[in-house]
Amino acid sequence: MGFFVLHPKQSQPIRMLFNTFVHIPGIGEKTEKQIWQSGVLHWDQWHAPFPTTLSAKKIQLISSYLERFNAENDGTASYFAKLLQPRYHWRLFPHFHNRIAFFDIETNGLSGVECEITTIALYDGNSIKTYVQGKNLEDFIEAISHYEVIVTYNGKSFDVPVIESCLRMRLPQVHLDLRHILAGLGFKGGLKGCEKQLGINRMELDGVDGYSAVLLWQEYQRTGNLKALETLLAYNIADSINLEPLLILAYNLHVASTPFHETHTIDLPIPPAPPCSPDRNIVEKLIQGRLFHV
């Protein structure tokens, strides 16, 4: 019943999605834990003799649902996402790891109809791509269409609505917003704050923020300074690639409270080499006074 997708850094199937029973209407976390504690850890293990802690009514409910579910399951992320409440969507992660895009946008800092996307950084766990206003921004529309799941930080409130408005497109993918996933684990304070709490260091870009990104774009527009653009892209890329370790850490923290903490924990990946490097002189001036004179 079901199918297995291997994380590229794992030698064994990660089954958290197939260990899940809360997708069944009427089954909550308490019942799911009772099922696990009885020794039933996977859908394929649901057969007689059934857990004695469950009522005959619940046993019948689970049996009939899993039988129908097995017949209807098309293996897509959207299918599973519709069954699970959003607070359980983190369980989708490793199963669709090769079909996930991590992305972040930068804007001109304005709101409403005056808001414009300046750059987008897209990372899929292997390659990094950047999109720049006036160069190739429209190419993002075709690129993102190849992924089933998108991962952002605060993207449900900001990145996605801005993209859909500015690029006149729709993003129908399953959306894992780390702002909500991490908040559910007690981590708040924005993307940079969560990174620091979870031990992710931005190195040369430490201290650069969203306002700095606006200043970098203004400088590039005003003078054509390519170092300013490259520094902006380096910052945007960091926002994007750091989403992967944040999601893995969040996944591991959730798994830690289940019977699968020894088998399902995912190792953190080696960070990819970014294609753009920040200019140290520009970064230093940004951090010191937020006045841009280069």
pTM: 0.92
> What does pLDDT average to over the chain?
91
Three-class DSSP category at 20: coil
Contacts of 41 (CB under 8 A, 6+ apart): 15, 19, 259, 260
| Cα 75 from Cα 28, distance rounded (Å) | 23
| Cα 1 from Cα 71, distance rounded (Å) | 9
| Cα 171 from Cα 174, distance rounded (Å) | 9
Q: In the prediction, which pLDDT does 28 show? A: 95
| Cα 189 from Cα 113, distance rounded (Å) | 28
DSSP 144: H
- Output the furthest CA–CA distance in the chain (Å, rounded): 74
Which segments of the chain does DSSP mark as H helices, in order?
29-37, 56-72, 77-83, 139-144, 159-166, 178-183, 190-197, 210-223, 226-241, 243-255, 280-289
Band of pLDDT at residue 8, cut at 50, 70 and 90: very low
Q: In the prediction, which pLDDT does 294 show? A: 44
Q: Is the confidence at residue 293, as pLDDT, over 80?
A: no
Least confidently predicted of 16-25, 104-113, 154-163, 281-290: 281-290
> Is residue 101 left, alpha or beta, with left meaning phi > 0 and alpha meaning psi from -120 to 50?
beta
Band of pLDDT at residue 4, cut at 50, 70 and 90: very low
- In this predicted model, what pLDDT tens digit does every residue of 56-69 receive, in sequence order? 999 999 999 999 88
Q: Is the peptide bond before 49 cis (omega within 30 degrees of 0)?
A: yes
* Average pLDDT, integer, range 8-29: 77
Q: What's the token pair of residue 183?
A: 């908040």
Q: In the prediction, which pLDDT does 72 show? A: 86
